[in-house]
Amino acid sequence: MRNVTVAATQMACSADAAENIARAEKLVRAAASRGARIILIQELFESLYFCQDQDYEFLNLARPLAENAAVRHFAPIARELGVVLPISVYERAGQSNFNTIVIIDADGAILGHYRKSHIPDGPGYSEKFYFSPGDTGFKVWDTKYARIGVGICWDQWFPECARAMALMGAELLFYPTAIGSEPQDTALDSAGHWQRTMQGHAAANLTPVIAANRIGTEAGRHGTAITFYGSSFIAGPTGEKCQEADRGSETILVQSFDLDAIARMRNAWGVFRDRRPELYAPLLTLDGVTSHKAALR
């Protein structure tokens, strides 16, 4: 038996980075007091979701990882509390900017980072203006408590991301998120679809999924607004929702898993034993055609 307790948090953000970091710290400390050893904070929690607008001023928010205030703040807290913290940041690297997650282990050590692979671009979510596509590839980390994989927001819609991390041995999948209403269509509500997609990742890989979203309404600079719908959740290894937050309350979700029992279940199902990677060549193309010659037939 190898039990690990995880937490997902959700909160509203303001334009004050210090205030946001302090609020996140409060949630981390509360989650740790409830036994959580790996604690997920939402995507880009240091600021408002600036990607609503294409504004060159917001490019100045990016910082090199060594200078990031949230990483520097939470490393000693991780060590103090003995918790693992994936920290979402806006990274400046050379002449490029990335949407990045930094993994802080329970001793405060930085295990590495992952740069968001899938970058969305749509009304209210103009992330291609701010972020280059990640160049790290999908990654997993051996933390004190478990081997974890982390995708970032739009990554969570792609089964290839979850499967790649599971194939690399991830025992838990984490997704920090910023998603809500669609400025161009107020009738569109993707909350259920969003959850079901990740529940499918959990079920297909027999690997728990932990998703943390933000809450609150944030106004853009040009007449738009997004109401983030919260609904953070933790799914078990067959896709069932174990814990779920509401759409508007600051929340901490805590759930324990026996990773050894889940590993036995995963092996018994044979979903990795029975894979046929030699048949998956269309996944390596954009149009599903495996070769130029085949496209001409």
Active site residues: 43, 116, 153
Beta strands in 177-265 (DSSP E): 209-212, 215-219, 225-229, 233-235, 241-244, 251-258
Give 127-133 contacts, CB < 8 A, sequence gap 24+: 127/51, 127/99, 127/154, 129/51, 129/54, 130/50, 130/51, 130/58, 130/59, 130/62, 130/90, 130/97, 130/99, 131/97, 131/98, 131/99, 132/96, 132/97, 132/98
Q: How far apart are CA 195 and CA 129, in angstroms?
A: 27
What's the chain's Rg over C-alpha atoms?
A: 19
Number of DSSP helices (H) and strands (E) in the chain, helices first: 6, 16
Q: What share of the chain is helix, strand, coil (3-state, %, to 5)?
A: 30, 30, 40
Q: How far apart are CA 124 and CA 62, in angstroms?
A: 19
What SS3 state is found at 202?
A: helix
Q: How far apart are CA 42 and CA 258, in angstroms?
A: 24
Residue 282 CB partners (closer than 8 Å, separation 6+): 288, 289, 290
